[in-house]
Structure 1
Amino acid sequence: MVAQHERTRSVLTIATRAHGVRLPYGVISSTRAGRVRSWEEKPVIASAVNIGCYVVEPRFLSLIPPRRASGMDRAARLAISRGMRVGEYRTRGEFVDIGDAASYEAALRRHGGRAR
């Protein structure tokens, strides 16, 4: 990941992984006139998702407000809007979501830890 970050001269490289979510319904595509073009039953919507692992350059850190909470997504969008190079590193590796309290507790149980 670091080698790719350096090779592409990105200010930020975001690790991603393929992830799919199966919709519980059939998806219909139709024309404005109401004629059905296609029907896909319970499709899987696939995308690259952020796994929360980054490589950053020192100048990227200036986009993060000091002494207050701010999401990495905000700083990344700001970098993109300013024309800075933001790279993606796709991995097949495992990751554990800890984005909310329930996921964090599940990760702790799975890996034998406990909250402090």
Structure 2
Amino acid sequence: MTKSIVFLVGIFFSLTVNSASLDNSQLMIIDSIESRYSGAHAVFGSGSIPDQGCTYKDRGIIVDTDIGSNTMVSVTLSAAISATPVIIQVSGCTMISPGHGTETAPKITKVQLNLK
């Protein structure tokens, strides 16, 4: 029983150490959106996107196959059109597009409109 608990604690610890962190940007205005056929939509903003150790640091990527991605693209487009500030949350890196080899950018996990 004790060995099982130690084993499970070890697995939990290794998973938490290797997981990507969730980091939020400062308030920014969306400058442009590249909506791609590959489903990896690039978002460029007036502020910096938190560094996740990716190849590119000037954009974030919304991955089309992620749950909520259609909503995030819609919110991003609305924010860009209305010049409403947003906070972008990223976690880890993702491929920028299938045809770009190993180039990566921060993966967007949340787009928060700032309506105040």
Regarding TM over 0.5, the answer is no
Q: Which has the higher contact order (CA 8 A, sep 6+)?
A: 1
With the shorter chain as reference, the TM-score category is under 0.3
Which of the pair has more CA radius of gyration?
A: 1
Q: TM-score, normalised by structure 1?
A: 0.24
TM-score normalized with structure 2 length: 0.24
